[in-house]
Chain A
Amino acid sequence: MAYDKFNILTTTAVPLPLENVDTDQIIPARFLKATKREGFGDNLFRDWRYNGDDTPKEDFVLNNPIYTGKILVGGKNFGSGSSREHAAWAVYDYGFRCVVSSFFADIFKNNCLNIGVLPVQVSPEFLEQIFTAVYDDPKTEIEINLPEQTITILSTGAQESFDINSYKKGNMLNGFDDIDYLQSMKGDIEAFAETLPL
Chain B
Amino acid sequence: MSKTLFDKVWDSHVVRKIDGGPDVFFIDRHFIHEVTSPVAFLGLKNRGLKVLYPERTFATADHNTPTINQHLPVEDPLSANQLKALEENSSEYGISHWGLGHKKNGIVHVVGPENGITFPGATIVCGDSHTSTHGAFGAIAFGIGTSEVEMVLSTQCIMQPKPKKMRINVNGELSKGVTPKDVALYIISQLTTSGATGYFVEYAGDVFENMTMEGRMTVCNLSIEMGARGGMIAPDDTTFNYLKDKPLSPKGEEWDKAVAYWKTLKTDANASFDKEINIDAKDIEPMITYGTNPGMGIGISKHIPTAEAVEGGVATFKKSLDYMGYHEDDAMVGKKIDYVFLGSCTNGRIEDFRAFASIVKGRKKADHVTAWLVPGSHEVEDKIKEEGILDIITEAGFTLRQPGCSACLAMNDDKIPAGKYAVSTSNRNFEGRQGPGSRTLLASPLVAAAAAVTGVVTDPRELL
Contacts and interface: CB of A to CB of B under 8 A. Distances in A.
Given A1-B43, A167-B22, A178-B151, A52 B436 contact: yes
Given A25-B431, A107-B144, A110-B145, A82 B47 contact: no
A76 B312 contact: yes
Interface stretch (B94-102, B104-112, B156-164, B270-278): B156-164
Nearest to A35: B38
Nearest to B319: A18
Interface in B398-427: 409-411, 418
Interface size on B, as a range, is: 35 or more
Contacts of B144: 83, 107, 110
Contacts of A106: 163, 197-198, 227, 229
A75 B313 contact: yes
Interface SS of B by simple majority: loop
Interface size on A, as a range, is: 35 or more
A82 B145 CA distance: 9
B221 interface: no
A20 B157 contact: no
B150 A80 contact: no
A185 B293 CA distance: 41
Interface in A22-60: 22, 24-25, 28-30, 32-37, 47, 52
A33 B64 contact: yes
A19 interface: yes
Nearest to A165: B21
Interface string B146-189: 11101100111111110100000000000000000000000000
A37 B157 contact: no
B55 A20 contact: no
B155 A166 contact: no
A15 B464 CA distance: 50
A178 B82 contact: no
Interface string B27-44: 010000001101100110
Interface in B115-153: 127-129, 143-148, 150-151
A186 B155 contact: yes
Given A20-B193, A189-B155, 19 more contacts: A1-B46, A18-B316, A24-B433, A25-B431, A29-B410, A30-B410, A34-B78, A75-B313, A81-B224, A83-B128, A85-B127, A85-B145, A111-B145, A114-B147, A179-B151, A182-B155, A183-B49, A183-B154, A196-B26
Q: Which 7 A-B residue pairs are closest in the complex by CB-CB distance?
A: A167-B21, A85-B145, A83-B143, A33-B78, A166-B20, A111-B145, A35-B38
29 contacts: A18-B315, A18-B319, A20-B193, A20-B293, A22-B293, A24-B431, A32-B35, A32-B411, A47-B437, A75-B316, A76-B312, A77-B194, A80-B193, A80-B194, A80-B293, A82-B128, A83-B145, A106-B227, A107-B145, A114-B147, A115-B147, A178-B151, A179-B150, A186-B52, A189-B15, A189-B26, A189-B156, A190-B52, A193-B156
